[in-house]
Homo-oligomer: A and B are copies of this chain.
Amino acid sequence: MTDPFSHTIKVEDNDHPHEECAIFGIWNASDAATLTTLGLHALQHRGQEATGIVCFDPKAQQFHAHHGFGLVGDVFSNTHTMATLKGTCAIGHNRYATSGASLLHNLQPIFAEFIFGGLAIAHNGNLTNAQMLRRELIQRGCLFQSTMDTEVFVHLIAISPYTTVEEKLIDALKRVMGAYSLVILSQDTLIGARDPFGIRPLVLGRLPAKQGHDSWVLSSETCGLDIIGAEFVRDIEPGEIIFIEKNDLRSVHPFTTKTPRFCVFEYIYFARPDTFLEGLSVYNVRKEIGRELAKESPIDADMVVPVPDSGVPAAIGYAEASNLPFELGIIRNHYIGRTFIEPSDHIRHLGVKMKHSPNRAVLEGKRVILVDDSIVRGTTSRKIVDMVRLAGAKEVHLRISSPPTEYSCFYGIDTPERNKLLAVQHDLKAMAKIIGVESLAFISHKGLEHAIQNSCKDSKYTTYCDACFTGHYPISLIDYNNIHKENQYG
């Protein structure tokens, strides 16, 4: 008997920040839902806990929806399911759980009935005044049926005194603070929006028509366009809302212009390496960080070894810049399955690693430079270093392709509370000792800046959100003021 809303324990990577969501939308395409499953599949790295699609069938004037827990390829595996998802436009969402438990109603896209008809919303990001707004809205009689901050959007749209969907949406967005990229589907419009700071990504693509009109595509990353053969048109701009109706694409910028603050961690860790964000190749940025890191923190060693998979591009860059061999000293096992049972204490004691194994032939007797993307709590780093050393490494030097993570993220990344972060608790020397390495170095803030600049000459943005490193939060943390007062930015 299957239990639709229970989960077995997953083997998680609990020591990396977690991205919350991927969003995707497509307009004017036959097989819209299937194309959306493909887009969501390409964006699977941004969230693996649950997925959902809402599509609209203009012939029947009906919305169809399907949500489920698990990978895109599993939730949408059923021909019967796909057959019900008729229509020529669709939006979809992958979720990594942050706010709220695994509640049924916490699955996205949210769908609700409004005065103007049905509307589905998928959201990537996190609002910083959601709790306050929620209290106000509940006071007013609005009914919250989930624990997601995304539900605030739909209520704000519903209660807006304005008359058109466009005005209502702008009215709603003007009331929220925080990070959001949104795709929204009504009966006659596909909408994409980014918050005024442009913290989370959203790109626009086009699938050339074989006959008739082109299809428009919205995706968290360009890899969601590539998989369906859509061409990249441009990034949705910070503060831009784009309305796709009939064959028309219309853009509005209803907010006061802000200095853009795209999340720098998208480059460092979250985005797929083949993705372009804000004009830069994620892969190139990572390699450049590796190069800078090699310049800043060189060390005499025998080889450079990435912690796979996220550490690979930076390790390639580090190896190139330091003229050291690049070696696969750690092998990753990708066949985890969905439900691996947790080992008993007896077996846990053996130090079993389900995902990583050391490549003894490479490591034995060698001085190794490990390259990883970040240190959060430090527990995973410690285990990996132990593993490498047990496999015979003579020295282990750890190089991190981000500055020390010293602040929590409130813009859509699932980070532990500040006091659980290793870099908050200890200085560099103590961290090295705890992790068990001969040397430890993080890329400097300056180095990170250089790396990004080197990645592309015509990079438009010179400012990023790096609050997790600096504590300079570009958007007020209304809901978190008491807890994190010390973190706040001017």
Question: Which residues of A, 76-129, contact B by the 8 Å Cβ criterion?
Answer: 76-82, 84, 103-105, 107, 110-115
A227 touches B1 (CB 8 A): no
Q: For A45, give the chain B residue with the smallest CB separation.
A: B335
Given contacts A4-B5, A76-B341, A104-B67, contact A333 B143 (CB under 8 A): no
Which chain B residues border A107 with CB–CB below 8 Å?
104
B333 touches A276 (CB 8 A): no
A1–B338 touching, CB < 8 Å = yes
Please determine whether A1 and B77 come into contact, CB atoms closer than 8 angstroms. yes
Closest to A161 in B: B141
Q: Are B154 and A138 in contact (CB under 8 A)?
A: no
Determine if B103 and A65 form an interchain contact, defined as CB atoms under 8 angstroms apart.
yes
Q: Is the CB of B5 within 8 A of A68?
A: yes
The complex places the Cα of A274 from the Cα of B357 at a distance, in Å, of 7
Measured between beta carbons, the chain B residues less than 8 angstroms from A490 are none
Task: Give every chain B residue within 8 A of A488 (Cβ-Cβ).
Answer: none
Beta-carbon contacts under 8 Å, A156-174 to B: 158-160
Interface size class of A (residues with CB under 8 A): 35 or more
Q: Taking the complex as formed, is A483 at the interface, i.e. its CB lies under 8 A from any CB of chain B?
A: no
Given A31-B346, A352-B38, A339 and B5 contact (CB-CB distance below 8 Å): no
Query: What separation, in Å, do the CA atoms of A71 and B11 have in the docked complex?
Result: 14
Q: Is the CB of B273 within 8 A of A359?
A: yes
Asked whether any CB of chain B lies closer than 8 Å to the CB of A405, the reply is no
Q: What's the least CB distance linking A254 to chain B, in Å?
A: 20
Distance to closest chain B CB from A158 (angstroms): 4
> Is A155's beta carbon under 8 Å from chain B?
yes
What is the CB-to-nearest-CB distance from A336 to chain B, in angstroms, rounded to a whole number? 6
Q: Does A374 contact B (CB under 8 A)?
A: no
> Are A81 and B42 interface neighbours, CB within 8 A?
no
Taken together as a complex, chains A and B put the C-alpha atoms of A354 and B40 apart, in Å, by 11
A397 at the interface (CB under 8 A from B): no
Are B357 and A44 in contact (CB-based, < 8 A)? Answer: no
Q: Are B344's CB and A34's CB within 8 A?
A: yes
Chain A 26-56 interface 0/1 with B at a Cβ cutoff of 8 Å (1 = within): 0000110011011001101100100000000
Known A-B contacts A1-B78, A338-B73, A339-B74; the reply to A331 vs B155 at CB < 8 A is no
Query: Which residue from chain B places its CB closest to the CB of A232 in the assembled complex?
Result: B360
Q: Closest approach, in angstroms, between the C-beta of A65 and any C-beta of chain B? A: 7
A229 interface hit (Cβ, 8 Å): yes
* Interface residue? A347 (CB, 8 A): yes
Is there a chain B Cβ closer than 8 Å to A327's Cβ? yes
Q: Who on chain B is nearest to A52 by CB?
A: B104
Given contacts A274-B361, A359-B273, A341 and B77 within 8 Å (CB-CB): yes
Are A336 and B73 neighbours in the complex by a CB distance under 8 Å?
yes
Task: Name the interface residues of A137-152: CB closer than 8 Å to any CB of B.
Answer: 138-145
Chain B residue with Cβ nearest A168: B141
Give the shortest distance, in Å, between A407 (CB) and chain B (any CB). 29
Query: How far is A11 from B37 in the complex, measured between Cα atoms in Å?
Result: 14
A365 at the interface (CB under 8 A from B): no
Q: Is A340 an interface position by the 8 A CB rule?
A: yes
Q: Which residues of B contact A112 (CB under 8 A)?
A: 143-145
Tell yes or no: A334 within 8 A of B by CB. Answer: yes
* A31 and B344 contact, Cβ closer than 8 Å, known pairs A103-B65, A141-B158, A354-B41: yes
Q: Is the CB of A343 within 8 A of B1?
A: no
Q: Flag whether A409 is at the interface (Cβ < 8 A).
A: no
Question: Which residues in chain A, 301-335, are within 8 Å of chain B measured between CB atoms?
Answer: 309, 312-313, 316, 320, 325-328, 331, 333-335
Beyond contacts A4-B68, A143-B143: 16 other A-B pairs, Cβ-Cβ < 8 A, are: A5-B67, A31-B347, A38-B354, A41-B354, A42-B357, A44-B333, A70-B337, A73-B339, A112-B145, A113-B145, A114-B138, A115-B138, A141-B158, A227-B352, A272-B331, A273-B328
What is A's interface to B at a CB cutoff of 8 Å? 1-6, 8, 11, 30-31, 34-35, 37-38, 41-42, 44-45, 48, 65-82, 84, 103-105, 107, 110-115, 138-145, 154-155, 158-160, 223, 226-229, 272-274, 276, 281-284, 309, 312-313, 316, 320, 325-328, 331, 333-341, 343-344, 346-347, 350-354, 357-362
Q: Jot down 26 A-B pairs with beta carbons below 8 A, ordered by A.
A: A1-B8, A5-B67, A6-B81, A30-B346, A31-B347, A34-B343, A34-B347, A35-B347, A42-B333, A44-B333, A72-B340, A73-B354, A74-B339, A76-B341, A113-B143, A114-B143, A141-B155, A227-B357, A229-B351, A272-B331, A272-B357, A274-B331, A274-B358, A281-B359, A316-B327, A334-B334
